[in-house]
Amino acid sequence: MSSINSLLFVGSNAIQAQGAGVASAGKNIANANTEGYQRELIDLSPLQGPPLLGGVRVIGPYRVDTQFLSRREQEANGGYGAALSQSSALAEAETAVGGVGGSELVDAVAAMWAGFIGVSAAPLDEAARASAVNDASELARVFQRLSRELGETRASCDQRITDMAATATKLAAEIADVNAAVIANKDPALLDKRDLAASKLSELLGGTAIVDANGQMSFAIAGGTLVVDGIHSYSVQAVPGLGPDGYSAVRVVDGVHVDDVTGRLTGGKIAGELAVRDGVAATAMADLDNLAGALAIRVNAQHAAGIGLVDATSRDLFVSASGGPITAANITVDAAIVADARHLAAAAVGSGPNSSNNDNALLLAGIRSEALPVIGRTAVDESIRIIGVVGQAKANADRDVTVGETRVDSLAALRDSLSGVSVEEELIRLAAFRNASDAAANFVATVNSMLQQLLEKL
Amino acid sequence: MRVTESRLHDIATSSLTKARSEVARSGAELSSGIRVQRPSDDPVAFAEGARVAAKQTIANAHKSSIARSRERLQATEGALQTIGDTLLRITELAIQGANETCAGTARISLAVEIRELRQAALNAVNTQAEDGTYLFGSFGNDTPPFDAAATYAGGTATRQADVGPGLVLPASLPGSVLTTLAGPSAENVFGVIDNIEAALAADNGDGVTAELDRLQRAVRQVALARGSAGGYVQALETAEETRAKLMESLVEIRARAISADPIEAATSLAKAENSLEAARLSAQELLAAAALGGR
């Protein structure tokens, strides 16, 4: 049988339970726009007790979450992050390799051939000679500038990688700190903070997080390398000089053990930057060097087979500004030819001074239709190919961004549907709990009134 | 599926951002007239456009080459016409001088006139082009190809001109076409003139008669040389017509590859602006719906 006091207990228990509901709804409303917040719910279940007694038991609050969705989101973040950073870096690379108008190298090569045609038509014309030498010099300048700007693009990627590695280290430390804190206190706010950090970390490095039965999160990236393992976090370092071409290598360091992940990252913004720094941009630079070298070798061979107006011996047209093999970074026109265009070898050897023989100028112009040795294409076609490869990579990255964005967006919609706060819904919950709390208060007041009456009678 | 106010805000923002971005892109395309502004816009079209631009640059160089070569050959043709006319007059004088009725001082007068005509012909074959080269000088330029004795000191090579893709055409005639170097039955044109002059000056009618056949051959030789020059000019003119047609088609190809069709671009912009307006209206509705939840 129930006693008055037992009834009071039921009433107070009910008020507390409804109060918990009001608190949870209130907390959700307060955090409706908080980044990373996952709504909290409570469950009410009947408290067992003697007939006509008992009460209500509050289960929770618990976060509405699912690890399955979290892992899908992290994978999507990694892919999207990689595509985004790759697209952005490739925009720089595309501008660098395309130059003015997007096809500066192609235009400069064609202009040089046109210059040789001009000299072949008027081998004694000073203006034609000067124009041809200027066109060759301009081509050399374009090679140098494109090479320099591609180098700057790679350096920018490298700097961003360094900055992102530092951020990744901080995020990993944050996760480890939360792991330590939740051992004693599984505060949902801490779990939200940890999930947000994991999401940002996946955007930077790719990889996914796993939460074990004890609530401890570990975060692994490419090939299973751990960045967070429970309360331990490892440092993500970009070490200058140890990567390809002297750029930074990306390593995960856990005190003694060092894991170089530079070539293994497949997701995340860092992977996107690496793909451009060590991939597309590096290849473009190498291709530019090969083209400059092959073109210079072929043109020089032909130029040296001819003679200038004031020369007794032949000379090269292109030389290296820094000595050694000719590359895009150091190609330049022989200073003597720049100073005096009469040194341009338009005539065949043996023509004698001041000859209007144009045989060699014709052969120089004819190189435009030849496939350059090793490269196997004409200079114009190879220039177009080099620029086109970067352009195609950018177009592919843009497409990946769109796909990634769609994927992230649809997962975000699912996440929002599951864990997001609907203010309308929470207001309804709030009203329900408040009404129930009012009813419980009425119940307590009724029981209290009964007790008062009993006490007066006694 | 639950839809929260936050999601409604995100949808509104995202739609507006995308719509604005499309308006900006369409506007840029319409105002610049270029559809493919960078390789990533359309890599294949960009490559085609760049290749065509390179061909246009080369074709412009060919235009200059053709023009210079044609000028030179037309001047050569003119010089050969002068020489041909000179030979015709010399023929008249030689026939007159060979006649028995013409003798003594009459023949000497004819010899004097022929000497003057010879000098005019010599000036013609030593004409220089605008670039300072001798029209008939092959590749030598320091001295005239024919000296005062009308001896040819130049080479036999013909200068070639780069006038089209894989096309090289003759752009000059060497002075050797007026000498025995021209072929098996060729004459030394100035040698014939000198012989006729000498015979007339020596009052030797038979000597003049003996040179008449050679003179005829010289006349034909000069006519043939003039025909060659004319043929080369014709070939260059054909090359120029071909080049001009090529340029027209290159312009068309490039426009098709990278230029924006103004009507399509304007339509695209109008659609984008409509989409932006629709996105604005739907954003208003979405945000209003989201705000209802707070009341």
The tens digit of pLDDT for each residue in B123-151 reads 999 998 888 889 998 777 778 999 999 99
Burial track B5-23 (b if 16+ CB lie within 10 A, e otherwise)? bbbbebbbeebeeebeebb
- Per-state percent for chain B, helix, strand, coil, to nearest 5: 70, 5, 25
Please state the ipTM of this predicted complex. Answer: 0.91
Q: Does pLDDT of B277 surpass 60?
A: yes
Are A424 and B293 in contact (CB < 8 Å)? yes
Residue whose pair of structure tokens reads 């025909």 in the numeric block? B227
Q: Are A248 and A58 in contact (CB under 8 A)?
A: no
Q: Does pLDDT of B72 surpass 50?
A: yes
Are A418 and B2 in contact (CB < 8 Å)? yes
At A5, list the tokens. Answer: 């006091």
What is the model's pLDDT at position A12? 85
- Over chain A (458 residues), what is each successive 10-residue block's mean pLDDT? 75 90 93 90 85 80 88 95 97 94 95 97 93 98 97 98 98 97 90 94 95 94 92 96 95 92 95 97 98 98 93 89 95 96 92 83 97 96 97 97 95 91 92 93 91 89
Q: Are A31 and A421 in contact (CB under 8 A)?
A: yes
pLDDT single digits (tens) B237-260: 999 999 999 999 999 999 999 999
Model confidence at B289, pLDDT cuts 50, 70, 90, reads confident
Q: Which residue has the higher pLDDT, A159 or B154?
A: A159
Tell me the C-alpha distance between B247 and B60, whole Å.
9
Are A358 and B132 in contact (CB < 8 Å)? no
Q: Is the dihedral of CA A420, A424, A425, A427 positive or negative?
A: positive
At A387, list the tokens. Answer: 């620029």
- Per CB-CB distance under 8 Å, the chain B contacts of A412 are 10
What is the model's pLDDT at position A1? 43
Tell me the C-alpha distance between A189 and A186, whole Å.
9
Alpha helices in A3-125 (DSSP H): 4-30, 67-98, 104-121
* Side-chain half-sphere CA neighbours of A157 within 13 A: 37
Distance from CA of A297 to the nearest CA of B (A): 22
What is the model's pLDDT at position A2? 54
At A242, list the tokens. Answer: 């140890």
Ordered DSSP codes for A187-204: -HHHHHHHHHHHHHHHHH
**pLDDT averaged over chain B?**
92
At B232, list the tokens. Answer: 């080369």
Task: Search chain A and give the residue with CA nearest B69.
Answer: A121
Tell me the C-alpha distance between A146 and A329, whole Å.
8
For an interface test with B, which of A399, A422, A425 has the most B Cβ atoms less than 10 Å from its Cβ? Answer: A422
Task: Search chain A and give the residue with CA nearest B3.
Answer: A417
Provide the residue type at A407 as one letter. R
Q: Are B3 and A417 in contact (CB under 8 A)?
A: yes
* Residue (of B40, B254, B43) closest to A95 by Cα position: B40
Instruction: Give the SS3 label for residue A252.
Output: strand
Distance from CA of A111 to the nearest CA of B (A): 7
Tell me the C-alpha distance between A210 and A194, whole Å.
12
Who among B37, B57, B141 is closest to A124 (CB)?
B141
Task: Search chain B and give the residue with CA nearest A36.
Answer: B6
* Residue (of B230, B204, B295, B292) closest to B3 by Cα position: B292
Provide the residue type at B85 as one letter. D
Who among B47, B58, B161 is closest to A114 (CB)?
B58
Provide the residue type at A133 as one letter. V
Q: Are A196 and A35 in contact (CB under 8 A)?
A: yes
Q: Are A281 and A157 in contact (CB under 8 A)?
A: yes
What is the model's pLDDT at position B112? 96
Contacts across the A-B interface (CB distance below 8 Å):
170
Q: Are A443 and A11 in contact (CB under 8 A)?
A: yes
Q: Is the dihedral of CA B72, B73, B76, B82 positive or negative?
A: negative
- Per CB-CB distance under 8 Å, the chain B contacts of A352 are 140
If you average pLDDT over residues B30-46, what whole number do you get? Answer: 93
Q: Is B47 in CB contact (< 8 Å) with chain A?
A: yes
* Side-chain half-sphere CA neighbours of A144 within 13 A: 16
Q: Which residues pair with A316 in a beta bridge?
A: none
- Per CB-CB distance under 8 Å, the chain B contacts of A111 are 57
Who among A109, A365, A387 is closest to B39 (CB)?
A387
CA dihedral (A204, A207, A209, A212) in degrees, to 10, reads -150
> Helix B105-125 crosses helix B189-201 at what angle (to 10 degrees)?
160
Q: Are B43 and A387 in contact (CB under 8 A)?
A: no
* Residue (of B150, B129, B138) closest to B69 by Cα position: B129
Report the Cα B250 to chain-centroid distance in Å: 17
DSSP assigned state of A17: H
- CA B287 to each of CA B11, B274, B284, B291: distance values in angstroms, whole numbers, following the listed order: 10, 20, 5, 6
Residues 25-44 of B with CB under 8 A from A: 37-43
Q: Does pLDDT of B293 surpass 60?
A: no
pLDDT single digits (tens) B107-117: 999 999 999 99
Q: Are A423 and B294 in contact (CB under 8 A)?
A: yes
Are A118 and B62 in contact (CB < 8 Å)? no
Looking only at the bridges linking them, the beta strands covering A225-229 and A232-233 are antiparallel
Report the Cα A310 to chain-centroid distance in Å: 57
- Per CB-CB distance under 8 Å, the chain B contacts of A306 are none
If you average pLDDT over residues B6-10, what whole number do you get? Answer: 87
Q: Are A142 and A105 in contact (CB under 8 A)?
A: yes
Q: Are A421 and B4 in contact (CB under 8 A)?
A: yes
For an interface test with B, which of A28, A88, A342, A416 has the most B Cβ atoms less than 10 Å from its Cβ? Answer: A416
Who among B10, B54, B166 is closest to A106 (CB)?
B54
Instruction: Give the long-range contacts of residues A367-370, CB within 8 A, separation 24 or more.
Output: A367/A113, A367/A298, A367/A299, A367/A302, A368/A110, A368/A113, A368/B58, A369/B165, A369/B166, A370/A298
Q: Are A41 and A84 in contact (CB under 8 A)?
A: no
- Per CB-CB distance under 8 Å, the chain A contacts of B62 are 117
Tell me the C-alpha distance between A107 and B27, whole Å.
27
For an interface test with A, which of B70, B134, B139 has the most A Cβ atoms less than 10 Å from its Cβ? Answer: B139
Q: Are B19 and A72 in contact (CB under 8 A)?
A: no
Who among A103, A347, A368 is closest to B58 (CB)?
A368
Q: Which residues pair with A225 in a beta bridge?
A: A221
What is the model's pLDDT at position A52? 67
Task: Search chain A and give the residue with CA nearest B131.
Answer: A125
- Global pTM value: 0.89
Are A388 and B4 in contact (CB < 8 Å)? no
Residues 115-174 of B with CB under 8 A from A: 131-133, 137, 139-142, 157, 159-162, 165-166, 168, 171
Q: Are A220 and A131 in contact (CB under 8 A)?
A: no
The verdict on whether omega for the bond into residue A61 sits within 30 degrees of 0, i.e. cis, is yes
For chain B, what percent of residues have pLDDT higher than 90? 77
Distance from CA of B225 to the nearest CA of A (A): 21
> Helix A104-121 crosses helix B43-98 at what angle (to 10 degrees)?
10
Distance from CA of B69 to the nearest CA of A (A): 7
Task: Search chain B and give the residue with CA nearest A121.
Answer: B65
Are B64 and A121 in contact (CB < 8 Å)? yes
Task: Search chain A and give the residue with CA nearest B293.
Answer: A424
